[in-house]
Amino acid sequence: MHVAVLGAGVLGLSTALLAQQRGWTVSLYTDRLPLHTTSVKAGASFKPHAVGYTAHTRRLLEDSWTAFERVQAEAGAAAGVRKHVHWEASSAPRPRADYLSVMQQVRILERPEVPGGYAFGWRYVSFFIDMPVYLTWLMAQFEQNTGRVVVVNQPFTDLEQLAGLPAEIVFNCTGLGSRRLCHDQNLIPIKGQVVVVGPRPDMDWSINADGFYVYPRKTETLLGGTTERNIDTETVDNGALHLVIHGNKRILPGLELGDVRRAYAGLRPYREGGIRLEAEERNSRRIVHNYGHGGAGVTLSWGSARAALDCV
């Protein structure tokens, strides 16, 4: 069977790879290659964020955990996937999150055992994904499996445009692009700004704390902590930059504005009413939608890809 996948972010690539594993011939259509997609801007720690958590979300999370374990075992550092300790800290107590049952070695702790002097914290082992490395690895796997990449000049803006694609099934993994493609008014952008500073070789854990985060990579450290709903520009805001620096000083006390190497912003594709994972018939072909994951696109990518294929 010939199938088309729209979008070269983490959801599109994961869907394309699983389709290949089913023996299908896959063409990937995109106006942006992986290292220019929203996915490359993610942290990314394996945890659901800015997405509705339901029984369905939990199943996607469990499936994704199993798939990431397989990636780590088979490729490890080559794929940019590893397990490490992650903290979620807060100044006020929080009810235990349901998704902690998926994580490993979970501990509920209080001050003074929580980093940064925070009063409460969850400590657990999860996956940490270096997105530039991971997306490059995914694309390499797709091409090694004789996948075909078609770079289009403009993104698709209407489902009727898909009628000419030489495919029996089309998987729509276009993220925020589905606002125009599907005229989906439930899909909204949530802007997040990221600040990049130098590496922290002595920090072998990551943390989310009162809305801010520190994600150390091998050659750099990502700092974040802004959530701006219905903002659809990716411009860097100096006010947000100062906020991120100030908010992360409890974890990195010596942090200063002069430490900033670069900064960028990304738009999370959040969907009111939940992720869209369903099929529809259009022009005698099946279109399977797989978008609206908010800040959990990486975390839920493999589970969502499998669920999308099951719609076929």
Q: How confident is the model at residue 283 (pLDDT cuts 50, 70, 90)?
A: confident
pLDDT digits 0-9 by tens, 184-197? 999 999 999 999 99
Number of domains in the chain: 1
Q: How confident is the model at residue 234 (pLDDT cuts 50, 70, 90)?
A: very high
- pLDDT of 176 > 90? The answer is yes
**Cβ–Cβ < 8 Å for 278, 244:** no
Mean pLDDT throughout 243-267?
A: 96
Closest-CA residue to 89 (of 224, 209, 204): 209
CATH of the domain at 115: 3.40.50.720
- pLDDT of 243 > 90? The answer is yes
pLDDT digits 0-9 by tens, 31-82? 999 999 999 999 889 999 889 889 999 999 999 999 999 999 999 899 999 9
| Residue-range definition of the domain harbouring residue 252 | 2-310
What is the model's pLDDT at position 4?
98
Q: Alpha-carbon torsion 41, 70, 65, 108, what sign?
A: negative
- pLDDT of 162 > 90? The answer is yes
pLDDT above 70 covers a percentage of the chain that reads 100
- pTM assigned to the model: 0.96
Q: How confident is the model at residue 242 (pLDDT cuts 50, 70, 90)?
A: very high
Mean pLDDT throughout 262-282?
A: 96
Closest-CA residue to 6 (of 22, 25, 28, 23): 28
Closest-CA residue to 24 (of 7, 5, 51, 2): 2
State the Cα–Cα distance between residues 209 and 250, nearest whole angstrom.
Answer: 9
What is the model's pLDDT at position 232?
92
**Cβ–Cβ < 8 Å for 270, 50:** yes
Mean pLDDT throughout 1-5?
A: 96
Mean pLDDT of the chain: 96
What is the model's pLDDT at position 284?
84
**Cβ–Cβ < 8 Å for 132, 35:** yes
pLDDT above 90 covers a percentage of the chain that reads 96
pLDDT digits 0-9 by tens, 85-137? 999 999 999 999 999 999 999 999 999 999 999 999 999 999 999 999 999 99
Q: How confident is the model at residue 255 (pLDDT cuts 50, 70, 90)?
A: very high
| Owner of token pair 């063409």 | 27
